[in-house]
A and B are shown apart, each in its own frame.
Chain A
Amino acid sequence: MTDAEMTHDWRDDIFEALVNAGIKQIAYVPDAGHKKLIERAHAANEMRAISVTTEEDAVACLAGAWLGGDKGALLMQSSGVGNTINMLSLMTTCRFPMPMFVTMRGEWGEFNSWQMPMGGTTQAHFELAGVKCYRVERAEDVADTVRAAIDQAYNGDCMTAVLLAQKLVGTKKFAAGSAGDNKQ
Protein backbone atom coordinates (compact mmCIF):
# COMPACT_ATOMS: atom_id res chain seq x y z
CA MET A 1 0.00 0.00 0.00
CA THR A 2 1.14 3.54 -0.67
CA ASP A 3 1.39 6.08 2.13
CA ALA A 4 -1.70 7.82 0.80
CA GLU A 5 -3.67 4.59 0.99
CA MET A 6 -2.34 3.90 4.48
CA THR A 7 -3.47 7.25 5.86
CA HIS A 8 -6.74 7.47 3.91
CA ASP A 9 -9.74 7.28 6.19
CA TRP A 10 -13.05 5.96 4.85
CA ARG A 11 -14.87 8.22 7.32
CA ASP A 12 -13.64 11.15 5.24
CA ASP A 13 -15.09 9.46 2.16
CA ILE A 14 -18.52 9.48 3.81
CA PHE A 15 -18.19 13.13 4.79
CA GLU A 16 -17.11 14.15 1.29
CA ALA A 17 -19.99 12.23 -0.28
CA LEU A 18 -22.43 13.98 2.05
CA VAL A 19 -21.05 17.40 1.12
CA ASN A 20 -21.00 16.62 -2.59
CA ALA A 21 -24.61 15.41 -2.47
CA GLY A 22 -25.71 18.69 -0.88
CA ILE A 23 -26.72 17.13 2.45
CA LYS A 24 -27.72 19.97 4.79
CA GLN A 25 -28.83 18.16 7.94
CA ILE A 26 -27.15 15.28 9.76
CA ALA A 27 -29.35 13.82 12.48
CA TYR A 28 -27.53 11.39 14.72
CA VAL A 29 -27.27 9.53 17.96
CA PRO A 30 -23.63 9.56 19.08
CA ASP A 31 -21.59 6.49 18.18
CA ALA A 32 -17.90 5.67 18.48
CA GLY A 33 -17.68 4.41 14.90
CA HIS A 34 -19.06 7.71 13.58
CA LYS A 35 -17.04 9.89 15.99
CA LYS A 36 -14.87 11.55 13.36
CA LEU A 37 -17.76 12.00 10.93
CA ILE A 38 -19.89 13.62 13.63
CA GLU A 39 -17.06 16.01 14.49
CA ARG A 40 -16.58 16.94 10.83
CA ALA A 41 -20.32 17.48 10.39
CA HIS A 42 -20.45 19.81 13.39
CA ALA A 43 -17.44 21.75 12.12
CA ALA A 44 -18.77 22.10 8.56
CA ASN A 45 -20.45 25.27 7.32
CA GLU A 46 -22.32 23.32 4.64
CA MET A 47 -24.48 21.36 7.05
CA ARG A 48 -26.13 21.35 10.45
CA ALA A 49 -25.51 18.37 12.73
CA ILE A 50 -28.45 17.68 15.04
CA SER A 51 -27.88 15.46 18.04
CA VAL A 52 -30.98 13.58 19.16
CA THR A 53 -31.36 11.25 22.10
CA THR A 54 -33.09 8.38 20.32
CA GLU A 55 -33.03 7.29 16.71
CA GLU A 56 -36.73 7.65 15.90
CA ASP A 57 -36.39 11.37 16.56
CA ALA A 58 -33.67 11.50 13.91
CA VAL A 59 -36.06 9.90 11.42
CA ALA A 60 -38.84 12.41 12.10
CA CYS A 61 -36.33 15.28 12.06
CA LEU A 62 -35.18 14.30 8.57
CA ALA A 63 -38.79 14.10 7.36
CA GLY A 64 -39.16 17.69 8.54
CA ALA A 65 -35.89 18.64 6.89
CA TRP A 66 -37.07 17.40 3.49
CA LEU A 67 -40.48 19.01 3.96
CA GLY A 68 -38.57 22.26 4.31
CA GLY A 69 -36.26 21.56 1.37
CA ASP A 70 -33.14 20.23 3.10
CA LYS A 71 -31.51 16.97 2.19
CA GLY A 72 -30.51 14.97 5.25
CA ALA A 73 -28.80 11.81 6.41
CA LEU A 74 -28.98 9.74 9.58
CA LEU A 75 -25.99 8.34 11.49
CA MET A 76 -26.46 5.65 14.12
CA GLN A 77 -25.24 2.28 15.30
CA SER A 78 -27.07 -0.99 14.76
CA SER A 79 -28.56 -1.04 18.26
CA GLY A 80 -30.48 2.12 17.33
CA VAL A 81 -32.22 0.55 14.34
CA GLY A 82 -34.78 -1.13 16.56
CA ASN A 83 -35.75 2.25 17.94
CA THR A 84 -36.65 3.57 14.49
CA ILE A 85 -39.16 0.97 13.32
CA ASN A 86 -42.54 2.67 13.79
CA MET A 87 -41.20 6.06 12.73
CA LEU A 88 -40.01 4.53 9.45
CA SER A 89 -43.70 4.26 8.52
CA LEU A 90 -43.71 8.04 8.24
CA MET A 91 -41.03 7.85 5.56
CA THR A 92 -42.67 4.97 3.68
CA THR A 93 -46.17 6.44 3.69
CA CYS A 94 -45.08 9.92 2.66
CA ARG A 95 -42.20 8.73 0.45
CA PHE A 96 -39.65 10.82 2.31
CA PRO A 97 -36.11 10.14 1.11
CA MET A 98 -33.59 9.17 3.78
CA PRO A 99 -30.09 7.73 3.52
CA MET A 100 -28.82 6.12 6.72
CA PHE A 101 -25.30 5.13 7.72
CA VAL A 102 -25.21 2.41 10.34
CA THR A 103 -22.11 1.20 12.16
CA MET A 104 -22.58 -2.46 13.00
CA ARG A 105 -22.17 -4.01 16.43
CA GLY A 106 -22.82 -7.51 17.60
CA GLU A 107 -20.94 -9.27 14.82
CA TRP A 108 -17.23 -9.58 13.90
CA GLY A 109 -15.21 -9.83 17.12
CA GLU A 110 -17.95 -8.46 19.40
CA PHE A 111 -17.28 -8.86 23.12
CA ASN A 112 -20.63 -7.52 24.38
CA SER A 113 -23.27 -10.21 23.96
CA TRP A 114 -26.03 -7.67 24.58
CA GLN A 115 -25.26 -6.14 21.17
CA MET A 116 -25.78 -9.41 19.34
CA PRO A 117 -29.60 -9.73 19.17
CA MET A 118 -30.05 -6.35 17.43
CA GLY A 119 -26.81 -6.47 15.45
CA GLY A 120 -27.64 -9.90 14.10
CA THR A 121 -31.07 -8.84 12.86
CA THR A 122 -30.47 -5.24 11.78
CA GLN A 123 -30.63 -5.91 8.05
CA ALA A 124 -33.69 -8.15 8.40
CA HIS A 125 -35.52 -5.50 10.43
CA PHE A 126 -34.67 -2.82 7.92
CA GLU A 127 -35.72 -4.92 4.95
CA LEU A 128 -39.06 -5.79 6.53
CA ALA A 129 -39.58 -2.06 7.03
CA GLY A 130 -38.87 -1.36 3.36
CA VAL A 131 -35.31 -0.05 3.67
CA LYS A 132 -32.86 -0.98 0.92
CA CYS A 133 -29.58 -2.14 2.48
CA TYR A 134 -26.00 -2.06 1.23
CA ARG A 135 -23.41 -3.78 3.38
CA VAL A 136 -19.79 -2.63 3.23
CA GLU A 137 -16.87 -4.67 4.56
CA ARG A 138 -13.91 -3.05 2.78
CA ALA A 139 -12.70 0.53 3.15
CA GLU A 140 -12.21 0.90 -0.60
CA ASP A 141 -15.91 0.26 -1.21
CA VAL A 142 -17.18 2.94 1.16
CA ALA A 143 -17.11 5.98 -1.12
CA ASP A 144 -18.97 4.37 -4.04
CA THR A 145 -21.52 2.72 -1.79
CA VAL A 146 -22.30 5.90 0.11
CA ARG A 147 -22.75 7.81 -3.14
CA ALA A 148 -25.01 5.10 -4.53
CA ALA A 149 -27.12 4.99 -1.37
CA ILE A 150 -27.62 8.76 -1.33
CA ASP A 151 -28.50 8.77 -5.02
CA GLN A 152 -30.98 5.96 -4.61
CA ALA A 153 -32.68 7.60 -1.63
CA TYR A 154 -33.07 10.96 -3.36
CA ASN A 155 -33.82 9.64 -6.86
CA GLY A 156 -36.30 7.11 -5.55
CA ASP A 157 -37.88 9.01 -2.65
CA CYS A 158 -37.09 6.03 -0.45
CA MET A 159 -34.99 4.87 2.47
CA THR A 160 -31.54 3.37 1.98
CA ALA A 161 -29.08 2.14 4.58
CA VAL A 162 -25.36 1.54 4.34
CA LEU A 163 -24.41 -1.06 6.93
CA LEU A 164 -20.77 -0.48 7.85
CA ALA A 165 -19.55 -3.89 8.99
CA GLN A 166 -17.89 -4.26 12.36
CA LYS A 167 -14.92 -5.79 10.58
CA LEU A 168 -14.49 -2.42 8.84
CA VAL A 169 -15.37 -0.14 11.76
CA GLY A 170 -13.27 -1.92 14.35
CA THR A 171 -14.08 -3.88 17.45
CA LYS A 172 -14.66 -2.05 20.69
CA LYS A 173 -12.10 -3.08 23.32
CA PHE A 174 -13.38 -4.16 26.70
CA ALA A 175 -10.95 -4.53 29.61
CA ALA A 176 -11.18 -3.66 33.27
CA GLY A 177 -9.79 -0.17 33.72
CA SER A 178 -9.78 0.57 29.97
CA ALA A 179 -11.58 3.51 28.39
CA GLY A 180 -12.96 1.09 25.81
CA ASP A 181 -11.93 3.00 22.70
CA ASN A 182 -12.46 1.58 19.25
CA LYS A 183 -9.23 0.27 17.79
CA GLN A 184 -9.37 2.71 14.87
Chain B
Amino acid sequence: MSAPEIIKKSDGLIDRRILVANLMHDRSDDLLVVAGLGSPCYDLMAAGDHPLNFYLWGAMGGAVPMAIGLAAAQPTKRVLALTGDGEVLMGLTGLAAAGAEGLDNLVVIVLDNGRYGETGQQLTHTARGVDLVQTAVGLGFKSTRRIDSTEEATELRDWMQSVQGPAFAAVHISPEAAGMSLPPQDGAFLKTRFREYLGMPPR
Protein backbone atom coordinates (compact mmCIF):
# COMPACT_ATOMS: atom_id res chain seq x y z
CA MET B 1 0.00 0.00 0.00
CA SER B 2 1.32 3.42 -0.85
CA ALA B 3 1.39 6.38 1.51
CA PRO B 4 -1.91 8.28 1.79
CA GLU B 5 -2.13 11.23 -0.54
CA ILE B 6 -1.77 14.57 1.22
CA ILE B 7 -4.69 16.88 0.52
CA LYS B 8 -5.88 20.33 1.48
CA LYS B 9 -8.98 21.14 3.47
CA SER B 10 -11.70 23.42 2.10
CA ASP B 11 -9.77 26.43 3.49
CA GLY B 12 -6.91 25.65 1.09
CA LEU B 13 -4.53 24.53 3.86
CA ILE B 14 -2.95 21.11 4.42
CA ASP B 15 -4.93 18.38 6.22
CA ARG B 16 -2.84 17.59 9.30
CA ARG B 17 -4.20 14.10 9.93
CA ILE B 18 -3.39 12.85 6.44
CA LEU B 19 -0.01 14.60 6.51
CA VAL B 20 1.04 12.76 9.67
CA ALA B 21 -0.34 9.46 8.33
CA ASN B 22 1.82 10.06 5.25
CA LEU B 23 4.92 10.81 7.35
CA MET B 24 4.43 7.66 9.43
CA HIS B 25 3.57 5.38 6.49
CA ASP B 26 5.68 2.22 6.44
CA ARG B 27 7.91 3.55 9.19
CA SER B 28 10.93 1.59 10.31
CA ASP B 29 12.20 0.83 13.81
CA ASP B 30 14.93 3.37 13.16
CA LEU B 31 12.45 6.21 13.69
CA LEU B 32 11.85 7.44 17.25
CA VAL B 33 9.07 10.01 17.73
CA VAL B 34 8.38 12.45 20.56
CA ALA B 35 5.02 14.19 20.08
CA GLY B 36 4.16 17.53 21.67
CA LEU B 37 0.97 17.79 23.68
CA GLY B 38 -2.43 18.23 22.07
CA SER B 39 -3.25 17.64 18.44
CA PRO B 40 0.18 16.36 17.31
CA CYS B 41 -0.32 13.48 19.76
CA TYR B 42 -3.79 12.78 18.34
CA ASP B 43 -2.44 12.91 14.78
CA LEU B 44 0.37 10.51 15.65
CA MET B 45 -1.99 8.13 17.44
CA ALA B 46 -4.44 8.24 14.53
CA ALA B 47 -1.60 7.23 12.21
CA GLY B 48 -1.17 4.06 14.27
CA ASP B 49 0.17 3.53 17.77
CA HIS B 50 3.77 2.33 17.97
CA PRO B 51 6.09 1.48 20.89
CA LEU B 52 8.60 4.03 19.59
CA ASN B 53 6.09 6.87 19.94
CA PHE B 54 6.35 8.94 23.10
CA TYR B 55 3.26 11.08 23.58
CA LEU B 56 3.47 14.12 25.83
CA TRP B 57 0.21 14.86 27.63
CA GLY B 58 1.79 17.82 29.42
CA ALA B 59 5.31 19.25 29.80
CA MET B 60 4.50 21.96 27.26
CA GLY B 61 7.68 23.15 25.59
CA GLY B 62 9.43 19.87 26.34
CA ALA B 63 9.14 18.02 23.02
CA VAL B 64 12.27 19.46 21.39
CA PRO B 65 14.59 19.32 24.42
CA MET B 66 13.38 15.78 25.13
CA ALA B 67 14.24 14.85 21.55
CA ILE B 68 17.74 16.27 22.09
CA GLY B 69 18.46 13.87 24.95
CA LEU B 70 16.95 10.98 23.00
CA ALA B 71 18.95 11.81 19.85
CA ALA B 72 22.16 12.01 21.88
CA ALA B 73 21.41 8.63 23.48
CA GLN B 74 20.48 6.94 20.18
CA PRO B 75 22.84 8.36 17.56
CA THR B 76 22.14 5.58 15.05
CA LYS B 77 18.38 6.22 15.07
CA ARG B 78 16.44 9.10 13.57
CA VAL B 79 14.66 11.18 16.20
CA LEU B 80 11.61 13.25 15.26
CA ALA B 81 10.05 15.89 17.49
CA LEU B 82 6.55 16.25 16.04
CA THR B 83 4.85 19.18 17.65
CA GLY B 84 2.64 22.22 17.26
CA ASP B 85 3.36 25.91 17.01
CA GLY B 86 1.95 26.68 20.45
CA GLU B 87 4.05 23.96 22.08
CA VAL B 88 7.27 24.96 20.40
CA LEU B 89 6.67 28.65 21.11
CA MET B 90 6.72 27.81 24.82
CA GLY B 91 10.07 26.10 24.36
CA LEU B 92 11.98 28.25 21.86
CA THR B 93 14.99 27.86 24.13
CA GLY B 94 14.94 24.17 23.25
CA LEU B 95 15.40 25.10 19.60
CA ALA B 96 18.49 27.11 20.59
CA ALA B 97 19.89 24.09 22.43
CA ALA B 98 19.11 21.86 19.44
CA GLY B 99 20.82 24.25 17.02
CA ALA B 100 23.88 24.57 19.23
CA GLU B 101 24.14 20.85 19.99
CA GLY B 102 24.22 20.00 16.29
CA LEU B 103 22.87 16.45 16.45
CA ASP B 104 22.72 15.15 12.87
CA ASN B 105 19.91 12.67 13.63
CA LEU B 106 17.46 15.23 15.05
CA VAL B 107 14.48 16.50 13.06
CA VAL B 108 11.79 18.89 14.28
CA ILE B 109 8.51 19.12 12.38
CA VAL B 110 6.05 21.74 13.54
CA LEU B 111 2.40 21.43 12.55
CA ASP B 112 1.72 25.14 12.35
CA ASN B 113 -1.93 26.17 12.35
CA GLY B 114 -1.41 29.51 14.07
CA ARG B 115 -3.82 28.45 16.81
CA TYR B 116 -3.90 27.13 20.35
CA GLY B 117 -6.16 24.22 19.45
CA GLU B 118 -6.66 22.88 22.98
CA THR B 119 -7.73 26.14 24.54
CA GLY B 120 -10.23 27.61 22.12
CA GLN B 121 -8.39 28.38 18.89
CA GLN B 122 -6.76 31.59 20.12
CA LEU B 123 -4.12 32.92 17.73
CA THR B 124 -0.52 31.90 18.38
CA HIS B 125 2.37 34.18 17.60
CA THR B 126 2.92 32.52 14.21
CA ALA B 127 -0.43 34.07 13.20
CA ARG B 128 0.80 37.41 14.51
CA GLY B 129 4.00 37.87 12.54
CA VAL B 130 6.42 35.41 14.15
CA ASP B 131 8.24 33.20 11.63
CA LEU B 132 9.39 29.88 13.08
CA VAL B 133 11.45 28.88 10.05
CA GLN B 134 13.49 32.08 10.18
CA THR B 135 13.82 31.51 13.91
CA ALA B 136 15.20 28.02 13.30
CA VAL B 137 17.66 29.42 10.75
CA GLY B 138 18.87 31.94 13.28
CA LEU B 139 19.12 29.32 16.02
CA GLY B 140 21.55 27.19 14.03
CA PHE B 141 19.46 24.49 12.33
CA LYS B 142 21.40 23.11 9.37
CA SER B 143 18.39 22.48 7.17
CA THR B 144 15.06 24.28 7.33
CA ARG B 145 11.88 24.13 5.28
CA ARG B 146 8.62 25.98 5.11
CA ILE B 147 5.88 23.74 3.67
CA ASP B 148 2.76 25.28 2.13
CA SER B 149 1.88 23.06 -0.82
CA THR B 150 0.86 19.41 -0.99
CA GLU B 151 3.77 18.84 -3.40
CA GLU B 152 6.28 20.08 -0.82
CA ALA B 153 4.50 18.15 1.92
CA THR B 154 4.79 14.95 -0.09
CA GLU B 155 8.59 15.35 -0.09
CA LEU B 156 8.70 15.75 3.67
CA ARG B 157 8.74 12.03 4.50
CA ASP B 158 11.90 11.32 2.48
CA TRP B 159 13.47 14.56 3.72
CA MET B 160 12.81 13.65 7.35
CA GLN B 161 14.48 10.25 6.87
CA SER B 162 17.59 11.47 5.08
CA VAL B 163 18.30 15.12 5.89
CA GLN B 164 21.36 15.94 7.94
CA GLY B 165 20.19 17.42 11.21
CA PRO B 166 19.51 19.33 13.16
CA ALA B 167 16.69 19.95 10.71
CA PHE B 168 13.50 21.93 11.07
CA ALA B 169 10.30 22.11 9.05
CA ALA B 170 7.13 24.06 9.69
CA VAL B 171 4.06 22.88 7.80
CA HIS B 172 1.29 25.40 7.30
CA ILE B 173 -1.73 23.27 8.18
CA SER B 174 -5.42 23.96 8.37
CA PRO B 175 -6.69 25.10 11.79
CA GLU B 176 -9.72 22.88 11.33
CA ALA B 177 -9.86 20.45 14.26
CA ALA B 178 -9.24 16.81 13.30
CA GLY B 179 -10.78 15.15 16.34
CA MET B 180 -9.19 13.54 19.36
CA SER B 181 -7.50 10.20 18.81
CA LEU B 182 -6.33 9.65 22.36
CA PRO B 183 -3.02 7.84 22.95
CA PRO B 184 -2.24 5.95 26.16
CA GLN B 185 -1.92 8.41 29.03
CA ASP B 186 0.16 6.32 31.46
CA GLY B 187 3.59 7.94 31.19
CA ALA B 188 5.44 5.17 32.98
CA PHE B 189 3.89 2.64 30.59
CA LEU B 190 4.87 4.72 27.56
CA LYS B 191 8.43 5.05 28.88
CA THR B 192 8.87 1.37 29.69
CA ARG B 193 7.26 0.24 26.44
CA PHE B 194 9.61 2.51 24.46
CA ARG B 195 12.73 1.36 26.31
CA GLU B 196 11.77 -2.30 26.15
CA TYR B 197 11.27 -2.06 22.39
CA LEU B 198 14.80 -0.61 22.12
CA GLY B 199 16.10 -3.63 24.00
CA MET B 200 16.17 -2.38 27.58
CA PRO B 201 14.16 -4.70 29.84
CA PRO B 202 12.09 -3.27 32.71
CA ARG B 203 14.13 -3.19 35.89
Chain A residues within 8 Å of B, Cβ to Cβ:
24-25, 27, 48, 50-54, 56-70, 72, 86-87, 89-90, 93-96, 157
Chain B contact surface mostly: helix
B104-140 vs A, Cβ < 8 Å mask (1 yes, 0 no): 0000000000000000000000000000000000000
Report the number of A-B residue pairs with Cβ-Cβ less than 8 Å.
126
For B59, the closest partner residue in chain A by CB is A90
Contact of A89 among B58, B72, B73 (CB under 8 A): B58
Which B51-78 residues have a C-beta within 8 angstroms of A?
54, 56-63, 65-74, 77
Q: Shortest beta-carbon distance, B61 to chain A, in Å?
A: 7
Q: A25-B73, A57-B65, A65-B73 are in contact. Are A50 and B101 (CB under 8 A)?
A: yes
Contact of B191 among A52, A61, A70, A95 (CB under 8 A): A95
For B32, the closest partner residue in chain A by CB is A68
Q: Is B9's beta carbon under 8 Å from chain A? A: no
Q: A50-B68, A51-B97, A53-B97 are in contact. Are A64 and B34 (CB under 8 A)?
A: yes
In the bound assembly, the distance between CA atoms of A95 and B74 in angstroms comes to 20
In the bound assembly, the distance between CA atoms of A51 and B70 in angstroms comes to 15
In the bound assembly, the distance between CA atoms of A61 and B101 in angstroms comes to 12
Interchain CB contact under 8 A, A89 and B66: no
Interchain CB contact under 8 A, A53 and B70: no
Beyond known contacts A56-B62, A57-B62: 4 more, CB 8 A cutoff: A57-B68, A64-B65, A64-B72, A157-B203
Interchain CB contact under 8 A, A93 and B58: yes
Q: A57-B93, A94-B191 are in contact. Are A64 and B69 (CB under 8 A)?
A: yes
In the bound assembly, the distance between CA atoms of A68 and B97 in angstroms comes to 18
Total interface residues on B, CB under 8 Å, equals 38
Residues of A with C-beta under 8 A to B70: 64-65, 67-68
In the bound assembly, the distance between CA atoms of A157 and B54 in angstroms comes to 18
Q: Shortest beta-carbon distance, B46 to chain A, in Å?
A: 22
Interchain CB contact under 8 A, B72 and A25: yes
Q: Shortest beta-carbon distance, B72 to chain A, in Å?
A: 6
Interchain CB contact under 8 A, A64 and B191: no
Residues of B with C-beta under 8 A to A58: 65
